Structure 1
């Protein structure tokens, strides 16, 4: 049975919250519109702010198949869309020759039949599904080359791909498409125009605390408030890579595993590797700066309590 999409912005907020994702209203609004209008959703933001997770909870909540295309430098059509099973085609040719079948036109048609087609994520997303159109996640598009962006225009605009040997394959019902980018390079305007756009920012302290309580329930009230206050301050330190929500959750889980009920400078220093991923950032924060941030986080948490 096909699960219906949310009927309003408030329903979208409740839908995401029911899947363990704590959204802000702006995100819920653009997601609701993307679903209702059948438009791809282009999500941009720093790494670790929860862009990929949106696709995961959307697929889980709607009961749809999640098809993920992880982009990388050098990604091509053979890896993203389709390729021919050359080994099986060669066997077919050898069998035809052994049987005395030499009609080249017939053989050419036979070896380019759909049974020899290897369907990659984009082509899989265009296939019909009893559960409803799948969720196609094109993840970290900025890692792929610009040539691949150009190919995606046909998919995003017309929900189809053209295979020279077979013709045009068009989706009976368009997939739900989410594209993410960490903005390591600019994406061409032609692709963005085909999408609704949303910048996924770091959460404010209230929403980040709500996320932490949902995802790391073992963290006590005091520890949770202190962790969030520490991380929120850390993002203002001008680091090479500020911690995202994913790192906040990792750090909180590490502190819970170490039976910490509150932050202290020593344990914060020893566990910075769960929060920061560059040695220059760790070196910059160690020592007296960690102590100052911990003290400020404690005071902030006490005021909030």
Structure 2
């Protein structure tokens, strides 16, 4: 059994050393996911650090990150495996006159198997973090593909049999909650809801990511980001965009985030015209 983290405190310390400031709930749940060998489902709005937590776990533990990026239309061939049909056809053509049973056994072997992220993570014998990113973007049917992996850490290939994990990966699923996930998936996971950090915590994150940012400017920036998130926007600023804004201010040598500076740099944090127009109107910024 792999020991990913010795304790919640160990998880918090090692994640911070790798660029991720975990609060008590995040550190505890991350520790438990490793200790109990249970998948971790992270849910919350886009841009709050769900994917980054999985990446930080990989960095902190020296594990390889295997990522399955989910999208509408994702199927078994892209998530689990598929057969290299062109190569199989060439083998069949080269085996003219051979009994079909023998040809069948020849073409359904590892040599012709194209592994996709889920099967790749299951077969690895080195420490692996399997990130199933934005699972809520897939069709409901795809969740059925995940159940065997999430329950038993194995994949069944009809032509080869069951492939069980030699070394269980650390599994992280992320969801922006665009749709409700099935109870079957949730039941197999530990659950953690991540939201935007409070002002004090975001300020801490900014100072760790952009150490050249002074306290006063950091305070102004996180206060403005908090105000923007209170507006009814199509896409609220993410933590990563807050960091980008801080770096932008430093690049432009802006020492004071006044209304003019906000107006000039608003495109760094708001990526929709309607959101920018709302911010200008609601915050009474100069055009």
Q: What TM-score, normalized by structure 2, do the two folds share?
A: 0.96
Does the Cα contact within 8 Å between 1:3 and 1:63 map onto a contact in 2?
A: no
**Do the aligned partners of residues 263 and 168 (structure 1) sit closer, same or farther apart at CA in structure 2, a change above 3 Å counting?**
same
Tell me the equivalent position of 1:20: 19
Cα offset for 1:191? 0.3
Tell me the equivalent position of 1:86: 85
Equivalenced residues, count: 286
Does the Cα contact within 8 Å between 1:128 and 1:171 map onto a contact in 2?
A: yes
Taking the aligned partners of 1:33 and 1:288, their CA distance within structure 2 comes to: 43
Taking the aligned partners of 1:167 and 1:279, their CA distance within structure 2 comes to: 53
Corresponding position: 1:223 with 2:217: yes
Cα offset for 1:4? 4.5
Cα offset for 1:250? 1.3
Does the Cα contact within 8 Å between 1:269 and 1:290 map onto a contact in 2?
A: no
Tell me the equivalent position of 1:104: 100
Cα shift readout 1:86-108 (whole Å, capped 9, x = no counterpart): 111111111111xxx42010001
Cα offset for 1:51? 0.3
Does the Cα contact within 8 Å between 2:123 and 2:163 map onto a contact in 1?
A: no
Within 5 A, what are the aligned runs for 1:1-305? Answer: 4-97=3-96, 101-130=97-126, 132=127, 134-286=128-280, 289-291=283-285
Taking the aligned partners of 1:253 and 1:287, their CA distance within structure 2 comes to: 25
Q: Secondary structure at the match of 2:156?
A: strand
Cα offset for 1:240? 2.5
Query: RMSD of aligned C-alpha atoms?
Result: 1.6
Cα shift readout 1:37-73 (whole Å, capped 9, x = no counterpart): 0000000000000000011111111111100000000
Cα offset for 1:241? 2.0
Q: What TM-score, normalized by structure 1, do the two folds share?
A: 0.90
Does the Cα contact within 8 Å between 1:248 and 1:275 map onto a contact in 2?
A: yes
Q: Secondary structure at the match of 1:197?
A: strand
Taking the aligned partners of 2:37 and 2:284, their CA distance within structure 1 comes to: 47
Q: Secondary structure at the match of 2:278?
A: helix
Does the Cα contact within 8 Å between 1:44 and 1:199 map onto a contact in 2?
A: yes
Taking the aligned partners of 2:201 and 2:95, their CA distance within structure 1 comes to: 65
Q: Secondary structure at the match of 1:23?
A: coil
Structure 1: gaps spanning 5 or more residues: 293-305
Cα offset for 1:158? 0.8
Taking the aligned partners of 1:58 and 1:202, their CA distance within structure 2 comes to: 20
Does the Cα contact within 8 Å between 1:269 and 1:287 map onto a contact in 2?
A: no
Taking the aligned partners of 1:284 and 1:291, their CA distance within structure 2 comes to: 10
Structure 2: gaps spanning 5 or more residues: none
Does the Cα contact within 8 Å between 1:276 and 1:282 map onto a contact in 2?
A: yes
Does the Cα contact within 8 Å between 2:199 and 2:223 map onto a contact in 1?
A: yes
Cα offset for 1:232? 1.3
Cα offset for 1:261? 1.1
Does the Cα contact within 8 Å between 2:39 and 2:171 map onto a contact in 1?
A: yes
Q: Secondary structure at the match of 1:126?
A: helix
